[in-house]
Amino acid sequence: MAHLINSDVFLAFSTYATIVVLKMIFMSFLTAYYRITEKAFSNWEDTGTASKDPEERKKMLQTNPNVERVRRCHQNDLENIVPFVVIGLLYALTNPDLSTALWHFRVFVGSRFIHTVSYVMAIPQPSRALSWMVGLLTTFSMAYRVLTTALFL
Amino acid sequence: MAHLINSDVFLAFSTYATIVVLKMIFMSFLTAYYRITEKAFSNWEDTGTASKDPEERKKMLQTNPNVERVRRCHQNDLENIVPFVVIGLLYALTNPDLSTALWHFRVFVGSRFIHTVSYVMAIPQPSRALSWMVGLLTTFSMAYRVLTTALFL
Amino acid sequence: MAHLINSDVFLAFSTYATIVVLKMIFMSFLTAYYRITEKAFSNWEDTGTASKDPEERKKMLQTNPNVERVRRCHQNDLENIVPFVVIGLLYALTNPDLSTALWHFRVFVGSRFIHTVSYVMAIPQPSRALSWMVGLLTTFSMAYRVLTTALFL
């Protein structure tokens, strides 16, 4: 890595942030998979790959519970992974202890994988609620360090 | 903070970015609060905490105006705070004047708090539109400095 | 730019990230334009600018296909531009070859402009699908370099 960034904490942040963002991108493919297999599209021009018959195509402009479930999971990723990336980047620059930082990143990324599985497979609560909360707690812990180290209002 | 980041402008950016991202996370809790008090859920597995009766649970899979309002506010946060964080970070690295930078960050973060209150409490327009526009103008102003300082196509 | 960031690759990233984020912000204005011209709002307080008659205002609380189309495009931007910005920033810090980096940034940003035009004008597939995929492939290519250069688990 460039001379700018040569700390192990920053390398760890780069690794975990990239992994969890790739996981988030995966939700797009899962949405596309369900849209195609469930024949449930939002755009007229998307139905042409599934059928040429205008009547059938019109019926495909529908909402589907599996598609909507994946989309809600994707939205929850945006709402939680974006804060992690922003606060995690600033946290990585506060020179935290390496093993403390690693555990923050690992717990967050692990919690988001568990959250996705819980959501997409509709595993009974509180599995999804707990994984969501664990991810938020690691974000809050990093935010606390950023604000106590860098506060400048 | 680490040796990499020792400018006051960067500390100020870290502080305000963390505060406004925490405000965005708060919207998740507000959504959860309204979902529980209004008994309006999106997922079957979420209704189990409110009732055990399958008929009652089915009725809770509904949309509710208060829940939808908070969700729109959260979405607007994503659409506006993400650009602020990205452009603000690059702006902080252009070595701007400290007091100019501070006012950009303060006005943006203040405008988003006013926007949230205006949205959630449904205060008559143009309060929400104005607070949205003020936040965008500070983002545009920072983007202008980034592009005039760093332009490399 | 500040002493921290004086590499051409970082300047190029700053330029393209700012441009593509500004493009994303433009979707908010396009949504507002369609909401006003199509008289399709989500909030009661927003209808007051279009009419004073309560009956007419009630009718304006409707969904409209043009508004929804722009909103889906905006959402797709969030789902794809956020990963580009995060992974692109980390990629820019891995000290990549300047011309390789430039082409990654150019292809991504170009693909998102084509995606927006394809989406908003409802150009037949696979134009939108292809532009979406090209943008993702540049993101994956940058993620590959970040993970092979910075892997620290």
Residue A56 counted as domain residue: no
Displacement of CA C84 from its chain's centroid (Å): 10
pLDDT at A5 exceeding the cut of 80? no
Instruction: Tell me what pLDDT residue C152 has.
Output: 87
The residue of chain A nearest to residue C151, with distances taken between CA atoms, is: A15
Instruction: Tell me what pLDDT residue C1 has.
Output: 42
Print the SS3 string covering chain A. Answer: CCCCCCCHHHHHHHHHHHHHHHHHHHHHHHHHHHHHHHCCCCCHHHHHHCCCCHHHHHHCCCCCHHHHHHHHHHHHHHHHHHHHHHHHHHHHCCCCCHHHHHHHHHHHHHHHHHHHHHHHCCCCCCHHHHHHHHHHHHHHHHHHHHHHHHCCC
| Cβ pair C66, C38 in contact under 8 A | yes
- Cβ–Cβ of A79/B28 closer than 8 Å? yes
DSSP state of C153: -
Residue B52 counted as domain residue: no
Residue to test with chain B: of A10, A64, A146, most B Cβ within 10 A: A146
For residue B1, what are the contacts with CB-CB under 8 A and spacing of at least 6? A93, A94, A95, A149, A150, B10, B11, B14
CA distance B30 to chain A (A): 13
CA distance C17 to chain A (A): 15
The residue of chain B nearest to residue A127, with distances taken between CA atoms, is: B45
* Residues of chain C below pLDDT 50: 1-4
Instruction: Tell me what pLDDT residue B2 has.
Output: 47
pLDDT at A4 exceeding the cut of 60? no
What distance separates the 2 farthest-apart alpha carbons in chain B?
A: 63
Instruction: Tell me what pLDDT residue B33 has.
Output: 96
pLDDT at A2 exceeding the cut of 80? no
Average pLDDT, integer, range A45-73: 93
- Give the global pTM: 0.95
| Cβ pair A67, A117 in contact under 8 A | no
* Residue C66 to residues A141, B112, C31, C49, Cα–Cα distance (Å): 42, 27, 9, 20
Average pLDDT, integer, range A118-125: 94
Instruction: Tell me what pLDDT residue A29 has.
Output: 97
Mean pLDDT lowest for which of A19-23, A71-75, B14-18, B146-150?
B146-150
Please state whether B97 falls in left (phi above 0), alpha (psi between -120 and 50) or beta.
Answer: beta
**Domain span at B116:** 2-34+64-151
- For chain B, 153 residues long, the average pLDDT of each consecutive 10-residue run is 67 97 98 95 91 91 95 97 97 92 98 98 94 98 95 87
Tokens coding C54: 């309560």
Residue A46 counted as domain residue: no
Residue A12 counted as domain residue: yes
Percent of chain A past pLDDT 90, that is, above it, reads 86
Instruction: Assign residue A77 the CATH number of its domain.
Output: 1.20.120.550
Residue A146 counted as domain residue: yes
| Count of domains observed in chain C | 1
What span, in angstroms and rounded, lies between the C-alpha atoms of A78 and A84? 10
CA distance C44 to chain A (A): 25
Helices (H), C39-124: 54-59, 65-92, 98-120
Instruction: Tell me what pLDDT residue C5 has.
Output: 58
Other CB atoms within 10 Å distance of the CB of residue B14: 28
For residue A22, what are the contacts with CB-CB under 8 A and spacing of at least 6? C83, C140, C143
Instruction: Give which of A38, A100, C14, C70 is closest to B79, Cα–Cα.
Output: C70
What span, in angstroms and rounded, lies between the C-alpha atoms of B69 and C59? 18
| Cβ pair A72, A119 in contact under 8 A | yes
